[in-house]
Structure 1
Amino acid sequence: MRTRIAAVTMAAAGIAALSAAPAMAATATSEAGTVACATVLNRPCITHQVDGDGIVGIAQVNADPTQLTMVQVEVRSQQAWGSPWETVASASAVRVGSVQATTPKVTGPAPHIICATAGPALDASKQVTTCTNPF
């Protein structure tokens, strides 16, 4: 019995290490005009910029230079605690290779989240959606 438990534990540790390896091996980019993101292919990197005038959502995705890639970024707000998140601004872009999209500026005191969907434009099953925590 102990042998089986040890084998399951080792298998789980191996799976965890394999799934974490791409993230640990990723490097950050910081080219002018881009967001510092890990170079994990087809995973959206999202951020926001806040100033006195409002909030801008930014998303980019790194992709194979020959792949038709899409990214869609949304700024969502919540008008009252427990109410649904509503999209108040969005932007999308499609091009070959890596791509970035920036939303129009949003004003308002409501809590916000930024969500992005990105991946191969011609294969929706491989597109990934991720969101920030509320801010």
Structure 2
Amino acid sequence: MRTRIAAAAMAAAGITGLAAAPAIAATATSGTDTAACATVLNRPCISHQVDGGGIVGVAQVSADPGQLTMVQVEVRTQAAWGSPWETVASATTVQFGSAKAVTQRVTATAPRMICATAGPALDVTKQVTTCTNPF
């Protein structure tokens, strides 16, 4: 039963993510390395890695092991200050318990920011979205 629910939620998250995301391909990884986020359940922790090869967005969320959890991370950029933010990389993970999502490495010029949405996969009203300050 859990497998069927997880498969249905992953399909729904994938369809929603494809409909809302740009045409750039996204990759996702998952893991249980959520020690830094253990203090607040269902609230995403965001980080990023920047080097000469580009930027990678990382989001993780701590959750009850029996909860079907969704985490999505996006790297967003602006063409110029004041223009609309555009998603240039996105990754989504849906699994039971704590989850982590990592975008592919993209080259992006400033300004940039990382945004993440996480929480119970089957209850959108309890999901939380947070973003970094532009950098």
Give the match for residue 76 of structure 1.
76
After superposition, the CA RMSD in angstroms is 1.6
Q: Give the count of matched residue pairs.
A: 104
Instruction: Tell me how far 1:35 sits from its aligned partner.
Output: 7.1
Higher mean alpha-carbon deviation, 102-111 vs 33-42, is at 33-42
Structure 2 gap ranges (5+): 1-31
Structure 2 counterpart of 1:105, one-letter code: R
Alignment deviations for residues 62-84 of structure 1 (CA, whole Å, 9 cap, x no partner): 00010000000000001111101
Partners in 2 of 1:63 and 1:116 — Cα distance? 15
Structure number with the bigger relative contact order (C-alpha 8 A, sep ≥ 6) is 2
1:106 offset after TM fit, Å? 1.3
Gaps of 5+ in 1: 1-31
Determine helix, strand or coil for the equivalent of 1:104: coil
Map 1:16-27; keep pairs closer than 5 Å. none
Q: What residue is the counterpart of 1:42 in the other structure?
A: 42
Larger radius of gyration: 1
Provide the secondary structure at the position in 1 that maps to 2:47: strand
Q: Residue 34 of structure 2 contacts residue 99 of structure 2 at CA under 8 Å; is this kept in 1? A: no
Match of 1:121 in 2: 121
Contact 2:77/2:109 (<8 A) preserved: no
Which digits, 9 at most, give the CA deviation of each residue in 1:28-56, with x for residues without a partner? xxxx9657335200000001011110000
TM-score of the aligned structures, taking structure 1 as reference length: 0.73
Letter in 2 for 1:54: G
**Percent of residue pairs bearing the same amino acid type:** 76
Alpha carbons of structure 1 residues 62 and 113: separation in structure 2 relative to 1, 3 Å: same
- Amino acid of the structure 2 residue aligned with 1:126: K
